[in-house]
Amino acid sequence: MNSSLILSIVTFVYGAAALLYISAWIFQKPLWGKGATALLWAGFLGNTAGFCLRWAESYQMGIGRIPLSNLYESLVFFSLTMAALYLFVEWKTGRREVGAFFGPLIFLAIAYASLSPNISDQIRPLVPALKSNWLTIHVVTCFLGYAGFALAFATSIMFLIHPGEGSNRGWRTRFPAPEVLDDLTYRMVVFGFLFLSLGIISGSVWANSAWGSYWSWDPKETWSLITWIIYAVLLHVRLMRSWTGKKIAWLSILGFAAVMFTYFGVNFLPGLHSYGSF
């Protein structure tokens, strides 16, 4: 039993959980929803176990490092943070409809890692620049932030397709009320903003300790700043111009597009993130 195998199994568990969330919502079966939650918990625990096992394996190989340093590992960890945040929110709000939209995202991240032929799951040693405790802080905070934004993205989509309170047009009315979705979007943006700030700051402090410059406008840094600015604008227009609802939902979708570009798109731009693989 190695970590890659566990994580492949987790992929299917997450996929099944997402399907069950969707079915529970469409066919209005609360019991299926409970099953979905149980499956998601199972996936989350398996994901955590796979993460820890991979960490242990790296020690057996004499490399000994936290598995947070290439695309495969970061996607696995992204699923982990998304599942954790979602389970927390579900527990707090007691509603499962968001799972029908967010479950697929949790599944997609780890499925991309496990199934894409371009992504290697080998454990490679760390180059000297990555050997720093800041690596752990930086990656963990960034991905917690991304998870918050991803959840805000899901609730924003739900808000936009919600037909409105009182309307009685089938499946979409089975969502939480629009105000609840709007409020959830806002809270997730706030959570994401706090952690993205932490992520950018820890990355900056690390860059300064690794090669003496806390900010050098490389594309990945710049895109994280762009993302941060979009969400800062969202917070301001919501507070000062009292925007809510549709406009905020669109801004949050734009913000999440910027998150995705920071994560994946930057690799297609001239010049690489100096730290390498992601």
Partner 1 sequence: MEKNRTTEEEGVIRQVWMMFASIKLSIIVLLLLAATSVVGTLIPQKPGARPEAGEGLWSQISSFLYLHDMYNSWWFQLLLLLLAVNLIVCSLERLPAVWRWVRKTPRPPRAERVRKLDNAAVFVLKEDMDKAEKKALDALGGWGIRTGVERDGDARLVHGEFGRWTRLGVYGVHLSVLLLLAGGLVGSLFGFSGFVNIPEGDTAHEIRLRGGAGTKDTGFSIRCDSFYVGFYPDGTPREYRSTLTLLDRDGEEILTQDIRVNHPLTYQGVRMYQSSYGTAAARSVSLKLIPEEGEPILMTGEVREPFSVPFTDGHIVLMNFMDNFQLRGHRLGPTFLGFYESAEGKRETLVLPRRHPGFDRMRMGERGFAIEINDYEPLYFTGLQVSKDPGVGLVYLGFTLMLLGCWVVFYLSHRRIFVLLERREDGSVEYTLGGTANRGHHALKQRLVKIEENLKKA
Contacting positions for partner 1 (CB under 8 A)? 63, 124-125, 127-129, 131-132, 183, 190, 193-194, 197-198, 201, 204-205, 208-215, 217, 219, 222-223, 225-226, 229-230, 232-233, 236-237, 240-241, 266, 269-271
Question: Does residue 155 contact residue 98 with C-beta atoms inside 8 Å?
Answer: yes
Around 252, how many Cα atoms within 13 Å sit in the side-chain half-sphere? 37
Q: Is 236 in the site for ligand HEM (CB under 6 A)?
A: yes
Q: Which is nearer to partner 1, 33 or 219 (CB)?
A: 219
Q: How far is the CB of 227 from partner 1 (least distance, A)?
A: 9
Query: Cα separations (Å) of 267 from 12, 223, 273?
Result: 28, 11, 8
The entry of ligand HEM, partner 1, none near residue 149 (CB within 5 to 8 angstroms by kind) is: none
SS3 181: helix
> Rounded to the nearest whole angstrom, what is the least distance from the CB of residue 203 to ligand HEM in the complex?
17
Give the Cα separation of 127 and 125 in Å (integer).
7
Least distance from ligand HEM to the Cβ atom of residue 226, Å:
12
- Cβ atoms of 7 and 114 within 8 Å: the answer is yes
State the nearest-atom distance from the C-beta of 114 to partner 1, in Å: 23
Query: What string marks each residue from 214 to 233 as x (binds ligand HEM by CB under 6 A) or -?
Result: ------------------x-
Q: Is residue 241 near ligand HEM by the rule CB under 6 A?
A: no
205 binds, among partner 1, ligand HEM, none (CB under 5 to 8 A by kind): partner 1
* Closer to ligand HEM by Cβ: residue 115 or 239: 239
How far separated are the first and last CA of the chain, in Å rounded? 27
Of the pair 95, 124, the CB lying nearest partner 1 is at 124
Q: Does 247 bind ligand HEM (CB under 6 A)?
A: no
**Region label for 245, one of left (φ > 0), alpha (ψ between -120 and 50) or beta (otherwise):** left
**122-129 — which CB contacts under 8 Å span 24+ positions?**
123/54, 123/57, 123/58, 123/61, 123/63, 123/67, 124/63, 124/70, 125/63, 125/65, 126/63, 126/65, 126/69, 127/276, 129/210, 129/211, 129/274, 129/275, 129/276
Rank residues 112 and 134 by Cβ distance to partner 1 and give the closer one.
134
Residues contributing to the site for ligand HEM (CB under 6 A): 232, 235-236, 239-240
